Structure 1
C-alpha cells in the first residue's frame, strides 16, 4: 500500500490526495504534525531521499530559521527536521517498491497503478 506523508493543511498535499483518489489508488496518510515524525521515520525517509532534496527551503519555517541554523550539516539538519517537521518537502509518496516521490505537481502520479 502507498503511504502519503503530509501536513494536513498543506494545499499541495490536498492536491496529491485528490490525484490519488481520482485514480482510485489505495493509500494511507501519515500527518507529520499529528502523527509525528520520529527519528526512525526520518532516517527511513532520508535513506531514500537525499537530505538536500528533502529540505523545503521555500517554507515559512525555513525562512524563520536563524542564519546559524541554515548553515547546517547532516546531523544538525536531522535535529532541525525532527524539531520542525514542516522543513520536510511534502507531500512524500512512498511507493510499494520503497521509493519515495518528493513533492507533487499535476500529472506526477499519472503512471502509478
Structure 2
C-alpha cells in the first residue's frame, strides 16, 4: 500500500498513523509517478485537484485553465491528499468512508 501526501499535512499524518504498514511518498519531494497520477485522475476526475489550497489560490487564471494532469505533474501539492493506492484500489482523502473501506 502506498500513501501519497505531504509530510507536513495533518490529514496525511493521521492516515499514516492509522496505516503503519503503508509506504509514505512525499509528493513535494518525490512527486507522483505519471501512471499513478493518470489512473487517479481517471478514477476521481477534477476531485483530484484541491481547489481550496493555498497553492491553487496563488495560481493565475491561465495556469488554472491548464490540463489538470500537467498541472498536477508540475505542482504536486495541488493534489487532494492523501491518495492511497492499495493494490487495484485507490482512495482519495481520509474521511470515514475511506477508513471503513481500508479497515473492513
TM-score by structure 1 length? Answer: 0.77
Whether 2:85 is the aligned partner of 1:99: answer no
Gap runs ≥5 in structure 2:
none
**1:39 Cα deviation after fit:** 2.9
Residue of structure 2 equivalent to 1:37: 32
Supply the distance in 1 between the matched residues of 2:76 and 2:15 (Cα, whole angstroms).
18
Query: Counterparts of 1:14-93 in structure 2 under 5 Å?
Result: 14-21=13-20, 26-50=21-45, 52-72=46-66, 76-93=67-84
The higher relative CO (CA closer than 8 Å, separation ≥ 6) is in 1
**Using a 3 Å threshold, how does the CA distance of structure 1 residues 41 and 110 change in structure 2: closer, same or farther?**
closer
8 Å CA contact retained: 1:94, 1:100 = yes
The structure number with the bigger radius of gyration is 1
User: How many residues were matched structurally?
Assistant: 103
TM-score by structure 2 length? Answer: 0.83
Bigger share in helix: 2
RMSD of equivalent CA atoms: 1.9
**Using a 3 Å threshold, how does the CA distance of structure 1 residues 13 and 62 change in structure 2: closer, same or farther?**
same
Q: Secondary structure at the match of 1:109?
A: helix
Gap runs ≥5 in structure 1:
none
**Using a 3 Å threshold, how does the CA distance of structure 1 residues 112 and 39 change in structure 2: closer, same or farther?**
closer
**Using a 3 Å threshold, how does the CA distance of structure 1 residues 112 and 77 change in structure 2: closer, same or farther?**
closer
